[in-house]
Structure formats: structure tokens, C-alpha cells
Amino acid sequence: MDELDSEIIRLLQSDARLSNRELARRLGVAPSTCLERVRTLTRRGVIRGYHAEVDMNALNRGVQALVSVQVRPLNRSVIVEFKNSVARLPEVLSVFVLAGGDDFVLHVAVQNLDLLHSFLLDRLSKRKEIAGFRTSVIFESTHNNVLGCLPDPEK
């Protein structure tokens, strides 16, 4: 990755809807050069896709929480089955598999606190592999939509 690749990534993270022509103009390169660079970044797996950022409040899912989960027995089949199963639940936005005291963190979004409580009692607590869980309600969140490329430690 060079500076041009890094700038392509930065611009596309800011606005994935940029046309190739506009992207090339902002970069000061020919559209054919820009298109080839984007294709190469995609082939290499650096660019994995494009998405729309969605406002959870607009979807009436304004209550979000992080649920830390411990499962037992702690083995590959339990971890894989639990991860795949909870990832399909409509309340679950993300599933993180962890090392440390907790085995998973689930990012969930629901309409209200009553539905969060129901999710915890009716969906999670009834699962036999869950040894315990803790819930943290999210009041606010900020995330970095544009990630800069880290310098190469070899240089």
C-alpha cells in the first residue's frame, strides 16, 4: 500500500458513493489509474464492500446495549454454534468473539427497555450453554468512519 492507496481508502470511507471520475479528480490521477487501484484493493481484500450507515432511531431501534456473555463448556463447537445462532437474531447487530473473562459481546438494538429485558430473559437466559451475562445500555456512541492507514513498521 502506498499513499495513493491510503487516500483512496480514506475518500471511499468518507463517501462510498463517489464515482470513479470524482475519486480520480480528487486524487489528481487518471480515471483508468484510479479504477485499477480500486479493483486491486478489492481483489486483495482491503476493500471488502460498501454499505449505508443507518440511523437506529429512524428504524425505531433506539435502545442499544452491549451484552457480555460467558458460555460453557468452552469448546469450538459451542462457540461456533452460539456465534452463528445469535448472529441470526433480529435484535443482534454484531457478535464479537473474545479472549479473557467474557467469551462474547453482543451489540443489540431494540425499540425500548422492555424489549431489551424480554430479549435477555426470553432469548438468552433460556440457552443452556450460557453460564452468565452482563448488560450495558449504550447512552451515546461515536465511531470513526474514516480510518487512516497505519505507518509500515518496517520503514
**DSSP secondary structure string for all residues of 76-93:** HHHHHHHHHHHHTSTTEE
For residue 152, pLDDT beyond 70 = no
The pLDDT confidence band at residue 144, using thresholds 50, 70 and 90, is confident
* pLDDT beyond 90 at 153: no
Q: What is the pLDDT of residues 1-41, one digit of tens each?
A: 899 999 999 999 989 999 999 999 999 999 999 999 999 99
pLDDT tens digits, residue range 91-127? 999 999 999 999 999 999 999 999 999 999 999 999 9
C-alpha cell at 146: 474514516
**Quick one: pLDDT at residue 8?**
95
Give the other-Cβ count within 10 Å of 118's Cβ. Answer: 13
**Contact between residue 69 and residue 105 where contact means Cβ atoms under 8 Å apart:** yes
Distance CA 113, CA 16 (A): 34
Strands 104-110 and 92-97: antiparallel
pLDDT above 70: residue 60: yes
What would the mean pLDDT of 77-91 be, rounded to a whole number? Answer: 97
| Residue 101: per-residue pLDDT | 93
- How sure is the predictor about 52, in pLDDT bands with cuts at 50, 70 and 90? confident
DSSP state of 119: I
Residue 150 has pLDDT above 70, yes or no: no
Separation CA 34–CA 115 (nearest Å): 47
Domains and CATH numbers, the chain: 3-43 (1.10.10.10), 63-138 (3.30.70.920)
| Helical H segments across 2-75, by residue range | 3-14, 20-27, 31-43
Q: Which residues of 4-38 are buried (b: 16+ CB within 10 A; e: fewer)?
A: ebebbbebbeeeeebeeeebbeebebeeeebeebb
